[in-house]
Amino acid sequence: MQVRILAFGIARDILGAGNLSLDLPQGATVAELKARLCRDYPSFEKLASLAIALNAEYASDSQAISTGDEVAIIPPVSGG
Amino acid sequence: MTNREKLDQEELRRYARHLALPGFGMEGQQKLKAGRVLVIGAGGLGAPVLLYLAAAGVGRIGIVDFDRVEETNLQRQVLYTVQDVGRFKAEAARERLLALNPHISVEVFTVPFSRENALELIAPFDVVVDGTDNFPTRYLSNDACVLAGKPLVYGSIFRFEGQAAVFNHLLEDGQRSPNYRDIFPTPPPPELVPNCAEGGVLGVLPGIIGSIQANEAIKLLAGIGEPLAGKLLVMDAANLATRILKIPKTPGLEIRELIDYEQFCAPTPPAPVREISVQELQGLLAQNADIQLIDVREPYEYGIANLGGELIPPGEIPASAARIARDKMVVFYCRSGKRSAEAIRQLRQQEGLDNLCNLRGGILAWAREIDPSMKQY
């Protein structure tokens, strides 16, 4: 299934784009998405602290992703 | 109504547009006058926060900041002028705010906001605004507000992106809204997240996010609207894509005491990489040794000074691994040796390469010790 990824902050640098589409197995969870990103983008693993939102709602690791979902990846930023 | 909240004739004139505002009016203005806000950090975010809180008539404003105004601040910290360069930010800010609104009081604390003074500093205030520029102080502000039972108006920026939220807000059911640790329980490794000085920041961005923070602080004090509690606003100024995410409380997360935040946010020591000195590299080049030289900087830096290496900017390293030789020594360099060491670690992990070597001190060491005619930047 295709999901839309919206990457913010340093995640955008790591993934190389702010917007991308990813093909995931049907019913994949947030944890599986993270594992996939760590495999494809080794630096992703270092982002221990990370908010993932599914369709504008904070999502836990066990939550399942559905076709057409928008997944936002939001790392912390510190500037002021 | 107590005397503290009573508006005099001049104030009634000054705040006429608030008094005329449906849902705000005299009651809202009096609440602002009685309101006490502590702003931690008088930088990019603090500047608009302070200006709008002062203009709006928040009766008592505290500023914690021990930095002095620098020339590079003027691109976004609209509180300050060229004449303020070198002065304490908090002092310059106080003068500017009182010139804008003499009906308020402004207290300055030109000390670092620390574990030792945090609770004492925030105690006399109703609302705390986070305008800090680093993770240790952000976690400290968050934890101190949770322990003291104060709402925290959070804001943070990076390049074109900003975040804002209201943490630890007292809800109608007596519970507190989620806080920073519910979203980001642990800090990221520092080497991964550049600050404004390293990563750059669009000057108007703190103006936007800081104005959102001022708006939230005023709503909290006046008791109007719906605060950004239990939510995180994320905005990309490059395309104005804005998301407001719902944030739940993390079950079992409890903040009991202030900790050592520098240690909490400290970098994990980086794995060592093989190094050569600029003298050794000079020797290898003089012998025409069969080595590959890779320059890990941005193209504009290459234009300023270079050693003739192949240019692979840091962001292109993962995709350019095929260009790295496997059968000979490869020397990586950048300006100071930091980015090139990181590139080597990345390639070691990604490709398992062990023929990579870092130029200690980078281009700067070369300019200092080998070729003084090379530009240092």
The one catalytic residue among B145, B196, B265, B357: B196
pLDDT tens-digit map of B319-335: 899 999 999 999 999 99
- Within 8 A of B44 by CB-CB distance, chain A residues are 79-80
Cα of B152 vs its chain's centroid, Å: 16
> Are B294 and B243 contained in the same domain?
no
Could B133 and A78 be called an inter-chain contact, meaning their C-beta atoms sit closer than 8 Å?
yes
Contacts of B377 (CB under 8 A, 6+ apart): B301, B304, B305, B335
**Residue B206 lies in domain:** 35-264
Provide the ipTM.
Answer: 0.92
Reply yes or no on whether B357 is catalytic.
Answer: no
Within a domain: B207: yes
**Mean pLDDT, to the nearest integer, of B93-110?**
98
Q: Residue type at B136? A: P
Q: B125 with B219, same domain?
A: yes
For B30, the token pair is 């009096």
> What is the Cα–Cα distance from B209 to B73, expressed in whole angstroms?
17
The answer to the question of residue B193 being in a domain is yes
Picking from B158, B192, B245, the nearest residue to A56 by CB comes out as B245
Check residue A38 and give its pLDDT.
86
Tally of CA atoms within 13 A in the half-sphere of A19 that contains its CB: 4
Is the residue at B269 inside a domain?
no
Q: Using the 3D structure, point to which of B226, B245, B264 is the last residue of a domain.
A: B264
What average pLDDT does range A12-41 have in this prediction? 90
Is the sign of the CA dihedral B133, B210, B142, B5 positive or negative? positive
User: What is the tens place of the pLDDT at every residue in B33-50?
Assistant: 999 999 999 999 999 999
Once rounded to an integer, what is the mean pLDDT over residues B75-103? Answer: 98
Q: According to the model, what pLDDT value does residue B3 have?
A: 59
pLDDT at B193 over 80: no
C-alpha to C-alpha distance for A4 and B174, rounded to whole angstroms: 38
Question: What does the DSSP assignment read for A31-80?
Answer: HHHHHHHHHH-GGGGG--S-EEEETTEE--TTPBP-TT-EEEEE----B-
In this prediction, residues A58-67 reach a mean pLDDT of 92
Ordered DSSP codes for B283-306: HHHHTT-SEEEEE-S-HHHHHH--
* Stronger pLDDT, B296 or A48, i.e. the higher one: B296
Answer yes or no: do B109 and B250 share one domain. Answer: yes
The answer to whether B334 is a known catalytic residue is yes
| B178/B292 same-domain check | no
Q: Is the pLDDT of residue B196 over 80?
A: no
CB-based contact, A62 to chain B, within 8 Å: no
Dihedral angle sign, alpha carbons of residues B357, B360, B363, B367: negative
Q: Is the pLDDT of residue B267 over 80?
A: no
Q: Which segment of B122-126, B307-311, B350-354, B370-374 scores lowest on mean pLDDT?
A: B350-354
How confident is the model at residue B1, as a pLDDT? 52
| CATH number of the domain to which B115 belongs | 3.40.50.720
Q: If residue B359 lies in a helix (H) or strand (E), which one and from where to where?
A: strand B356-359
Overall average pLDDT of the B221-232 stretch: 97
Q: Give the count of domains, chain B.
A: 2
User: Tell me, what CATH number does B345's domain have?
Assistant: 3.40.250.10
Is B103 a member of any domain? yes
Architecture label for domain A2-74 = Roll (3.10)
Q: Using CB atoms, pick whichever of B162, B243, B247 lies closest to residue A72.
A: B243
Chain A residues within an 8 Å CB radius of B201: 79
Q: Domain check: are B319 and B251 in the same one?
A: no
Mutate to test the interface with A, among B163, B205, B298 (most CBs of A within 10 A): B163
What integer is the mean pLDDT of A18-33?
Answer: 92
User: CA-to-CA distance for A7 and A70, rounded, in angstroms?
Assistant: 11
Q: What is the mean pLDDT of residues B144-149?
A: 98
Count other Cβ atoms within 10 Å, centred on residue B239: 10
Instruction: Count CB pairs under 8 A between chains A and B.
Output: 115
Give yes or no for a contact between B59 and B8, defined as CB atoms under 8 angstroms apart: no
* Cβ partners under 8 Å of residue A1, min gap 6: A23, A24, A25, A26, A28, A65, A66, A67, A68
Closest CB to B158: pick one of A42, A48, A79: A79
Residues B160 and B65 in one domain: yes
Of B89, B62, B54, nearest in space to B74 by CA: B89
Q: Is residue B23 part of a domain?
A: no
- Min distance A26 CA to chain B CA atoms (Å): 24
Of B208, B232, B264, the domain-final residue: B264
- Residue B252's pLDDT is 86
Q: Residue B195: inside a domain, yes or no?
A: yes
d(CA B128, CA B126): 7
Whether residue B303 sits in one domain with residue B206: no
Query: Which residue of B186, B196, B232 is in closest CB contact with A79?
Result: B196
Please indicate, yes or no, if residue B7 is contained in any of the structural domains. Answer: no
Q: For chain B, what is the mean pLDDT? A: 94
Domain shared by B131 and B157, yes or no: yes
Max avg pLDDT among A34-48, B97-111, B189-203, B231-245: B97-111
